[in-house]
């Protein structure tokens, strides 16, 4: 895992990934059991559900941990300051929304 060594991450998100993937595998085991009585296809379907759900959630958790890390200089450069067009002190005319709001006041 390529996570920031300065960040101290809790194991709770990874535990939640394991729990949700396990529950989805168990529900898959029960659902497939209604149509297939043999254990090999049921186990294969449950294992596939566990791997797919676990991989997707793990990818999501790792991307969130990387995105919210503020120790990297590149992440500070990616954050942009929003500048709305109708702020006082700007020499530009107001935004279209401001013009619509002004027309609605008449």
For the chain, the maximum distance between any two Cα atoms, rounded to a whole number of angstroms, is 74
List the one residue out of 50, 52, 29, 51 whose CA is nearest residue 41.
29
pLDDT value of position 67: 84
pLDDT value of position 5: 72
How far apart CA 87 and CA 80 sit, in angstroms, is 17
Domain ranges of the chain: 11-69
Give 56-67 pLDDT, tens digit per residue: 999 999 888 888
pTM above 0.75, yes or no: no
Kindly give the confidence (pLDDT) of every residue in the chain, 106 residues in length, as a single tens digit, with 9 standing for 90 and above: 566 777 777 889 899 999 999 999 999 999 999 998 899 999 999 999 999 999 999 999 988 888 887 775 554 555 555 666 665 655 555 555 555 555 555 5
């Amino acid at each position: 895992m390529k996570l920031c060594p300065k960040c101290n991450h809790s194991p709770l998100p990874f535990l939640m990934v394991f729990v949700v993937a396990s529950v989805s595998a168990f529900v898959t085991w029960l659902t497939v059991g209604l149509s297939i009585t043999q254990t090999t296809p049921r186990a294969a379907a449950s294992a596939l559900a566990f791997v797919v759900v676990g991989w997707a959630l793990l990818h999501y958790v790792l991307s969130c941990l990387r995105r919210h890390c503020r120790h990297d200089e590149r992440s500070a450069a990616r954050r942009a300051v929003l500048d709305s067009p109708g702020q006082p002190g700007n020499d530009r005319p107001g935004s279209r929304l401001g013009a619509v709001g002004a027309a609605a006041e008449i």
